[in-house]
């Protein structure tokens, strides 16, 4: 029957059209249906819950040979070829201060950890505390205390080591999106669980999670560990949506039941990996997207049920001789019209 065939595609087309009007690009009907079945949403932090507009707030040197500007110039030189938001922010800050940057040679980036480069014949490691330790660099207590202070303020930090010695730290601050708290509260009201998956230090992650109301936090994760966490949630029976913006999020976006990328600020790789993109980077669209997806799934189920009911009744009536070929055709077409009209209501319905 036509009504049965039309039930799914008409609802999906109307919902995708509705989403596009609101700045949400849904690449397939399958993604929309899967979003309607999601019960857990995992967020990246930087660029997702926060604006990702990082600014250097602290430059602290632990070396008598380097003042703050010299340290900043050294780190910015090493990070000059980095695509990571932290590295880009450091380079931009150094240029604002008109510092001279040197060429970075033998540059190497390890996703989620840090970078290595030769700058002016000095071997530089810039990244997390764990990354420096993995490369045989000792972290003095003074440095650890400084890191704790920055983390308690919700700041990200990049440690710098030159020729095997930790020489300084650069602290960066980010601003939480004003709608993040309300967004998480709306998801909670809908019965959708939220979890924070981030490569940031535990204290920094807890600081932001507490502000938005997320209680499940998994911090200090490498890109492959984000994937492992999503797989674990799926093995526990959860249908997981991952929301992120960076290159590091691409594997997790691909692994999740549904991947949602922050389209305006997000990397091309993240947008390509995701099945849905928020073109305005308005995170308050997540509850809207969830409500739209839920309504679409309900509409499809209702339309299929209505189609089956109409055809079942029509068959019974034809057995009793109450339906002629002409009236049977009218009933058949009426069912199709009902299904299309019900689906069309999705296009203009309010989900905000």
pLDDT tens track for 263-284 = 655 556 667 888 898 887 788 8
Q: What are phi and psi of 268, to 5 degrees?
A: -60, -35
First to last CA, the chain: 35
Range of the domain at 64: 54-174
Q: How many domains does the chain have?
A: 2
pTM as predicted: 0.77
Question: Per the domain annotation, does 333 fall within a domain?
Answer: no
Q: In the Cβ-directed half-sphere of 174, how many Cα atoms lie within 13 Å?
A: 26
pLDDT digits (tens, 9 = 90+) for 34-66: 999 999 999 999 888 988 788 999 999 999 989
Of 91-105, 196-210, 315-329, the range with the lowest mean pLDDT is 315-329
CATH code, domain carrying 92: 3.40.1110.10
The catalytic site residues sit at 44
Last residue of a domain, one of 112, 146, 174: 174
Pick the more confident residue, 125 or 312.
125
Question: Per the domain annotation, does 319 fall within a domain?
Answer: no
Sheet holding 24-26, edge to edge: 24-26, 276-278, 258-262, 240-244, 40-43, 193-197, 216-218
- In sequence order, the β-bridge partners of residue 216 are 195
Last residue of a domain, one of 118, 153, 174: 174
Last residue of a domain, one of 152, 174, 196: 174
40 and 94 housed in the same domain: no
- Name the average pLDDT for the chain: 87
Q: Is the pLDDT of residue 96 over 60?
A: yes
């Amino acid at each position: 029957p036509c009504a049965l065939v039309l039930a799914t595609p008409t609802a999906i087309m109307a919902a995708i059209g509705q989403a596009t009007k609101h700045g949400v690009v849904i690449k397939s009907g399958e993604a929309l249906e899967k979003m309607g079945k999601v019960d857990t949403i995992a967020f990246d932090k930087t660029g997702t819950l926060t604006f990702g507009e990082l600014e250097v707030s602290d430059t602290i040197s632990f070396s008598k040979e380097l003042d703050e500007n010299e340290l900043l110039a050294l780190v910015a030189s090493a990070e000059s070829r980095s695509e990571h938001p932290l590295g880009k922010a450091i380079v931009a800050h150094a240029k604002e201060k008109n510092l001279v940057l040197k060429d970075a040679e033998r540059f190497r980036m390890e996703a989620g950890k840090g970078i290595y480069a030769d700058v002016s014949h000095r071997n530089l490691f810039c990244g997390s505390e764990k990354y420096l330790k993995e490369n045989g660099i000792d972290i003095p207590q003074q440095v650890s205390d400084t890191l704790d202070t920055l983390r308690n303020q919700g700041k990200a930090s990049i440690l710098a080591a030159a020729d095997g010695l930790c020489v300084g730290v650069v602290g960066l601050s980010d601003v939480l999106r004003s709608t993040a708290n309300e967004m998480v509260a709306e998801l909670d009201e809908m019965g959708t669980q939220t979890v924070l998956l981030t490569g940031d230090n535990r204290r920094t992650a807890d600081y932001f999670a507490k502000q938005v109301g997320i209680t499940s936090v998994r911090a200090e994760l490498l890109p492959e560990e984000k994937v492992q966490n999503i797989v674990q949630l799926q093995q526990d029976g959860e249908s997981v949506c991952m929301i992120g913006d960076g290159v590091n999020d691409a594997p997790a976006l691909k692994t999740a039941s549904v991947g949602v990328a922050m389209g305006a600020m997000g990397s091309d790789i993240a947008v390509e990996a995701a099945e849905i993109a928020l073109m305005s980077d308005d995170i308050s669209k997540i509850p809207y997207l969830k409500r739209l997806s839920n309504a679409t799934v309900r509409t499809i189920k209702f339309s299929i049920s209505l189609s089956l009911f109409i055809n079942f009744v029509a068959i019974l009536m034809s057995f009793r001789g109450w339906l002629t070929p002409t009236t049977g055709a009218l009933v058949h077409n009426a069912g199709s019209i009902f299904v299309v009209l019900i689906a069309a209501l999705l296009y203009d319905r309010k989900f905000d």
